[in-house]
């Protein structure tokens, strides 16, 4: 508890993220679950998305700009493609995944959407694909007498 957290000196000087940007990022997060049908109820993760974004900004202040930029990019995409269409385009456009990101769309995809996918899977999105634990998911402890926090080999296989 006597260790200073990882924080870029510039991050401390930044104004807090505005509510509208957070709301746009929350919508993006929710649409990941909608597109892949892997998170029926994202509500409990509102605060975790927020703390994640704060942490990203703390580590690299440019993330504040990424989020602002992504919110603006998404507004444009939604105007153009409608809501579901905009996210589907963002999630699947192959040019948007070319590194390094050189367009607004590519930044939104690689620095924001792709990272939110990683976060979303680790918060529970992985469960739709058959497992009960995942790297990055805090599955819980191995407590004697209780079910393990991951799928296990049947007891009769115990060597």
Partner 1 sequence: MKVETLIIGSGVAAAALAQRLLAKNPNASILMLEAGRKVKMQDAAIWQDYVVSGKLPYTQYYDLPYPDRDQPGENLSAGTTAVPLDGSRALTYGGSTIHWGGWSFRLKPEDFALRTNTGHSLDWPISYADLEPYYSQAEHYIGVSGDSNDPTVPRHCDYPFPAFPYTLEDQPAAEAMAALGMAYSHLPIARHGITDTTSRHAPCQTTGTCKYCPFGARYSANNFLDDMQNWGNFPGLQIRLNSIVQEISMRSRQQAGGVVYLDRETGQQVVVEADRIIVAAGTLESTKLLLRSRSDHWQLGIGNDHDLVGRNIVTHPYFIFSGSAPGNPLKLQPEMNFPTLCSRHFDSPAEQAKGKFILINPPGSPTVNLLSKMQAGVSRLDMDRYVAGPRQIQLHGMVEIFSEPQNRIANIDKLNHLGMQETLVDFGQAAGFDPRMQEIQGHVQRLFEAMGATMNAKPTISWRADHAACTLRMSDDDSEGVTDRHMRVHGVDNLYVCSNATFPSTGAVNPTLTLAALALRLGDHLNHATGQP
Partner 2 sequence: MTLEQHKSRLYPLLQTAMELELSTIPPYLTALLSIKREANRVAAGLIRSVMMEEMLHMVLVGNLMSSLGGKICLNQDTLPSYPLRLEFEGHGFKDREFDINLEAFSPQAIQTFLQIELPTSLARQPQRLMAQPKISVPGITLGEFYQRIIGALDALCAAYPESAVFNGDPGRQISEQYYWGGGGKPIIITSLAQAKAALEVIIKQGEGGDDSIFDGDEHYFDQAEEVAHYFRFNEVALGRRYRPGDKPHEPPTGEAFAVDYQAVYPIKRNPRHGDYAAGSRLATLNQQFNRQYSLMLSQLEQAFNGHPAVLYDAIVNGMHGMTPIAQEMMTLPLDDTAGASHGAPSFEWIAPPYQQA
Q: Contact at 8 Å (CB) between 90 and 76? A: no
Q: Which is nearer to partner 2, 23 or 85 (CB)?
A: 23
Q: Contact at 8 Å (CB) between 61 and 6? A: no
| CB of residue 109 to partner 1, shortest distance in Å | 9
Residue in 8, 34, 36, 48 binding partner 2, rule: CB under 8 A: 48
Closest CA to 98 of 89, 107, 85: 107
Token reading at 133? 């634990």
37, interface contact from partner 1, partner 2, none, CB < 5-8 Å by kind:
partner 1
Q: Which is nearer to partner 1, 79 or 155 (CB)?
A: 155
Q: Is 138 in the site for partner 2 (CB under 8 A)?
A: yes
Q: Is 121 in the site for partner 2 (CB under 8 A)?
A: no
Alpha-carbon distance of 99 to 110, in angstroms, equals 8
Alpha-carbon distance of 115 to 92, in angstroms, equals 15
97, interface contact from partner 1, partner 2, none, CB < 5-8 Å by kind:
partner 1
Burial class (CB in 10 A: 0-12, 13-18, 19+), 16: exposed
Token reading at 49? 């998305």
Q: Is 51 in the site for partner 2 (CB under 8 A)?
A: yes
Q: Is 140 in the site for partner 2 (CB under 8 A)?
A: yes
Q: Is 16 in the site for partner 2 (CB under 8 A)?
A: yes
* Binding to partner 1 in span 60-89, by CB under 8 A: none
């Amino acid at each position: 508890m006597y260790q200073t957290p990882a924080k870029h000196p510039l991050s401390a000087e930044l104004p807090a993220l505005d509510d509208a940007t957070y709301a746009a990022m929350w919508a993006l997060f929710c649409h990941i679950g909608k597109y892949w049908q892997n998170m029926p109820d994202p509500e409990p993760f509102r605060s975790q998305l927020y703390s994640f974004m704060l942490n990203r900004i703390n580590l690299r202040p440019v993330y504040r700009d990424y989020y602002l930029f992504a919110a603006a990019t998404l507004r444009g995409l939604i105007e153009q493609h409608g809501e579901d269409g905009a996210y589907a385009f963002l999630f699947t456009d192959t040019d948007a995944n070319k590194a390094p990101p050189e367009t607004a769309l590519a930044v939104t995809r690689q620095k924001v959407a792709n990272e939110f996918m990683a976060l979303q899977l680790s918060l529970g999105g992985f469960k739709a694909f058959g497992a009960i634990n995942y790297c990055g998911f805090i599955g819980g402890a191995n407590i004697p007498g209780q079910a393990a926090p991951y799928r296990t080999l049947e007891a009769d296989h115990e060597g």
